[in-house]
Every structure is written in C-alpha cells, then in structure tokens.
Amino acid sequence: MKVSIITPMYNSGLYIEETIQSVLSQTLPEWEMIIVDNYSSDESCSIVESYVQNDPRIKLIRNHRNGGAAEARNKGMDIAQGAYIAFLDSDDFWYPTFLEDMYSFSSKNNYSFCYASYEIAINTLSNIQKEFTVPVVATYESMLKVCVISCLTAFIRRELVGDSRMEGKINEDYFFWLALLKKTPQAHGYQSALAIYRLRPNSASRNKLEVAYQKWVGFRTREQIPFWKSVYYFSYYFWHGLKKYAFSFKKH
C-alpha cells in the first residue's frame, strides 16, 4: 500500500462526505483512509459507516472520548500500513491528483518529507478567497520563524515518522514537523495548489494568547532554545500572526 490517510473527526456531519469523496476521486488508488472519530454526537459516524461498507480501504475507529485531533492522528499513525502518511481533516478537500502528484514528487526525488500549496475557502469549498503558495524548501531553522507546512498537504515517509508522535492539544502539528526536521535536513514544497483548507465560523478556535504562550513554552522547553533566540523566533511568529489576522478581518 502506498499511502495511509489519517483523518481525525468530531461532529463533522456537514462536511465529512465531501472530504471522503475527495479521497475516492484520487487518481492514485493505492491508499487506506483511517478515520478516527472523537466521540461525535451528530451523524458523522453513520455517514462514514455507509462508505466503510462499500469500500474496504476506508476504516472507522471510534474513540470513547474526545481526546483531540493529535491523539486521533497518533492512533491513526499507530496502525498505518502505507509507505507514506498523509493527513486530511474532516472538513478539508484534496484535488483529484493530490496523492499521485505528491507520491511522484517524493519518490522520484527521494524526498522523505513533502508538502504542497493549497487554497483557502470560507465555509463552502467554492468560496475560495486565497492561495497559500509554499516555499520550495523548509528547514528546522526556517520553521522556527514561520510554519509553512499544513497537515492538509503534508506527505511523509512512514519510516521517517518512526515512533514520533504529536503531543498536546495546541501547536501539536507544528512541533511534530520540527521533530521530523531534526531527522531529515529539509522538507520539500510542491508549488501547485492541490487542496482546499476550509475556514468556518464554528471551527475549533483557541485563545490566541494561549496559542502564543504554548508556542513560547515549546521553544523554551521542547526545543531548548535560549531566551533571546526564542524572542527572535517568536517575533517572526507574532508578525506572521498579525498578517493572518488582517486577512481574516478583511473577510469578515
């Protein structure tokens, strides 16, 4: 099997069908989709079950509590069988060539860690507002300044992931990327947009100060970065956050 797709899900009944359909439409068919439900109280699981019955590549795992997206992704990584791991949240969307393009990009160039550009839509997939074009290379150092890798388009050799897992409930994917970039010198960006990231009003949102605080704590404790270097890297995060806020403000 070429790719294991890991999808955390919680009360995504309005969106999960579009997400699954985007996977079923992939031009590369050798995949498994592991959907890990975080104790949803809506129709999410019944929708997924209807797909599970018709396609053995789709698997549903039910948690008996909501442990958050990181815990769900970790559970998916624990049982993944593919040569590569990809992540797709339960309200996002891949264009049909995502897996084929990323598999070819990685295997032909012998890249172990890749990511791609994507579009940003508000509420509906047709309401595309912006394209985020990724840089051609991301390193540990550059990622300390600005995170350019999204779960939506990350494409990673399972052997690189190894026993690395996401920790916590805030910035968990970011520090996971940093951990991987300690194992490999670079991640490589695919320039064409291959996915749609959906912004919606009722998405899980966190207190921005808490997110910033946890990033600072992560710099100082997880990454063991000295104080003044942490200030230096955090200033990039702060400036990038202001630009993202300005974009969000304009759209609302």
In this structure, are 218 and 179 located in the same domain? Answer: no
In this structure, are 143 and 31 located in the same domain? Answer: yes
The CA distance from 184 to 115, in Å, is 14
The CA distance from 64 to 41, in Å, is 11
In this structure, are 118 and 233 located in the same domain? Answer: no
In this structure, are 78 and 162 located in the same domain? Answer: yes
pLDDT tens digits, 35-84: 999 999 999 999 999 999 999 999 999 999 999 999 999 999 999 999 99
- The amino acid sitting at 37 is D
Question: Would you state the pLDDT for residue 206?
Answer: 53
| Helix, strand, coil percentages, rounded to 5, for the chain | 40, 25, 35
In this structure, are 158 and 61 located in the same domain? Answer: yes
Q: Where are the beta strands (DSSP E) in the chain?
A: 3-9, 31-37, 58-62, 84-87, 93-94, 113-122, 128-132, 137-138, 155-157, 187-199
First to last CA, the chain: 43
Mean pLDDT of 142-151: 96
Burial label, 150 (beta-carbon count in 10 A; 0-12, 13-18, 19+) = buried
Shortest CA distance to 164 belongs to which of 225, 78, 37? 78
In this structure, are 96 and 156 located in the same domain? Answer: yes
The CA distance from 10 to 91, in Å, is 10
| Domain total of the chain | 2
- Domain of residue 248 covers 206-252
CATH at residue 54: 3.90.550.10
In this structure, are 120 and 187 located in the same domain? Answer: yes
pLDDT band at 12 (very low <50, low <70, confident <90, very high): very high
In this structure, are 122 and 173 located in the same domain? Answer: yes
Mean pLDDT of 169-184: 96
In this structure, are 38 and 116 located in the same domain? Answer: yes
In this structure, are 152 and 180 located in the same domain? Answer: yes
**Of the candidates 202, 223, 240, which is a domain's last residue?**
202
Does residue 247 register a pLDDT over 80?
Answer: no
In this structure, are 64 and 130 located in the same domain? Answer: yes
Chain center to CA of 120: 14
